[in-house]
Amino acid sequence: MQIGTTITQFLADEQRKLNTNQTDLLELMGQVVTACKVIATAVNKGALSGVMGSLDTENIQGETQKKLDVITNEIFMQTTERGGQLAAMASEEMDDVYHIPGQYPRGKYLIVFDPLDGSSNVDVNISVGTIFSILEYKGDSATPAAAEFLQPGTQQVAAGYALYGSSTMLVITTGHGVNGFTLDVNIGEFLLTHPNMMIAPDTKEFAINASNERFWEAPVQRYVRECVAGKTGPRGRDFNMRWVASMVAEVHRIIIRGGVFMYPKDTKDPAKAGKLRLMYEANPMSFIVEQAGGISSTGRQRILDVQPEGLHQRVPVILGSKNEVEVILSYHKDM
């Protein structure tokens, strides 16, 4: 029986094609794959496992933590800390760097992750996901400082996301295109189902939280206003608006059928430069989007060129179909 290409076979084939011998990276990716399988099981059990609802705790961003936020964070840490490929890790759910316990070997990579993106949707059974980014550790300390993680997105070695929806998918890039894998629960393997994923350059869909319209800057207000005007407006065609409140779900839809996702700079909270975290969300998703032929920007600069200033730094995000994002960016230039 032919079962198709597994993600492990795919990554091994990629190494051979590129004449590289990054066995540590291959093994680390394998541990991430395992973590996503375990998280998928935890998420899919839903209320049956008694882990719905919130805790009486907040993460460093001041957001109330869901029970599954904490559980999935522990799953990801425990699955990846023992293999000997990591020097340290950082998570949206932890205040500071997590150092690999002394009883485990250390390696040459750093990993940052959002264990359960879109967790506000868990209780209503809407798609959520996991996002990760792998960086090379360039120091030699056994306890890397936060500064070692503060590399621009262009330095990412690999990135990906898992989507826990009607099926569980894993979408990854190592800098040589984007490929999607679907979990076959009967054999417990991710199989290649979406090779060489590309974002359509044109689109008639955009995703934004319209309740924040009064806080947006003029370029974004102009763009959305023109889309809403449809055929009667200056764009001369009708658009559809989507909003899931899960970045993984939004980006996956864009990769599959095109679109634009925006969480732009606004004045709702002047103390925050944006809503989404640069290290855990914006950088890995921008890496994937660019590798799939799209564009990702803060509105003022390419996200992957942003020099991080802190582990939990926030940035505005505008990403998706190339031609449509370029329209939005042209409006920012007119400011």
Give me the pLDDT at residue 126, please: 87
CATH class of the domain comprising 7-194: alpha beta
One-character DSSP codes across 91-134: ETTSSSPEEPPTTS---SEEEEEEEEETGGGGGGT--EEEEEEE
> CA torsion angle for 90, 156, 311, 171 (degrees, to 10)?
-60
Give me the pLDDT at residue 54, please: 64
CATH code for the structural domain at 205-333: 3.40.190.80
| Residue 92 is assigned to a ligand binding site | yes
**Digit-coded pLDDT (tens) for 241-271:** 999 999 999 999 999 999 999 999 999 988 8
| Residue 14 is assigned to a ligand binding site | no
| Residue 116 is assigned to a ligand binding site | yes
| Residue 121 is assigned to a ligand binding site | no
| Residue 117 is assigned to a ligand binding site | yes
Sequence-separated contacts (24+) of 299-302 with Cβ below 8 Å: 299/217, 299/219, 299/220, 299/264, 299/265, 299/328, 299/329, 299/332, 300/332
| Residue 334 is assigned to a ligand binding site | no
The domain segmentation of the chain, as residue ranges, is 7-194, 205-333
Give me the pLDDT at residue 15, please: 82
β partners of residue 111: 89, 134
**Digit-coded pLDDT (tens) for 10-69:** 998 888 876 666 789 999 999 999 999 999 999 988 776 666 666 656 565 656 667 888
Query: Are the CB atoms for 116 and 280 separated by under 8 Å?
Result: no
Number of separate helices (H) and strands (E) present in the chain = 7, 17
